[in-house]
Amino acid sequence: MMKKTETASNEAEPAAAPKLAAPESAGTKPAEPEIAGTKPAEPEIAGTKPAEPETAGTKPAAPETAGTKTAEPETVGIEPTGLDARLPQWLGVAVIALSIVIVDQITKRVALANLDPGERIPLLGDLFGLQLVFNPGAAFSMGAGATRVITVFALVVCVVVIPWLLSRPVGRLTRIAFALIWGGAIGNVIDRLFFPPGKLAGHVVDFLAYADWFVGNIADIAIVGGVVLLLIQAFRAENTETSNKLATADTPGTGELETSSKLDNASVPTTDKTEEATAAHVSETSTERRETEGCR
């Protein structure tokens, strides 16, 4: 009996050990694939990285903003239109012209009150001085026998020509030049209308003597200054036109620019296709991993 009991106990012990140890060890090992099964979820997080091309894909939109900048030269240099837009320009021109007329007439009255006709007062030796002279003609006493013709011509210039020129789209320097000429012309026309002998034949008061060359006044200085500004503006415009022609000859044509813009625009759809392909690849990879896990 004792031997049978020992034998039975010995047989029971080995049988109990596998039943307890095997399920525990085998039960814990399948848990490892569950932990490892969470790792394939990392590619899903890594799969979000291909979304970066979406932010990178927005970069090709920069040519659109850059393309809008090229529209600026179309508005640059174009003068405003309409009465409200031109009113400040006209006010500026009127202020300049009126200032010249006032200064011209005041200095002429001072010269008439303090200088004797023909008397010369040197200020810079023989180079510059004061000398009262009555000029029936135009500049340099030209046209002395056609005073009325000169007066009518000056009136037309003051009333019609210069206002018409100022009504056109012109640059700031040109407006200043016309304002100077306008003010000087009006100053001398006032002399021809109201100074003796009158009847559109009045003589212009000159009192600024330049050596032995000629005698002028403030109005003459304004007119000469306006003409000089017009010449400067014409010279600058000619140089600008020449520079533009040279730049056009040295730079690629508009066709190449259009081609480059088309290529830039075409890069956006290409980026979208790349993003779609990347997303599809990530989806397929995730599906394959899930199927592999299912097989396990």
Q: Is 200 left (phi over 0), alpha (psi -120 to 50) or beta?
A: left
The catalytic position among 84, 116, 206, 272 is 206
CA distance 79 to 173: 13
Q: Where are the domains of the chain?
A: 81-244
206 given a catalytic annotation: yes
14-58 tens-digit pLDDT: 444 444 444 444 444 444 545 444 455 555 544 445 545 554 445
Query: Between residues 82 and 126, which one has the greater pLDDT?
Result: 126
272 given a catalytic annotation: no
- Residue-wise DSSP of 135-168: ESSSGGGTTTT-HHHHHHHHHHIIIIIHHHHHHS
217-266 tens-digit pLDDT: 999 999 999 999 999 999 888 777 777 777 776 665 555 555 555 555 55
What does pLDDT average to over the chain?
Answer: 72
The whole-number pLDDT of residue 26 equals 43
The whole-number pLDDT of residue 99 equals 97
Q: What is the pTM of this model?
A: 0.54
The catalytic position among 220, 250, 264, 272 is 220
pLDDT above 70 coverage of the chain, percent: 53
Mean pLDDT across the stretch 83-88? 68
104-139 tens-digit pLDDT: 999 999 999 999 998 899 999 889 999 999 988 776
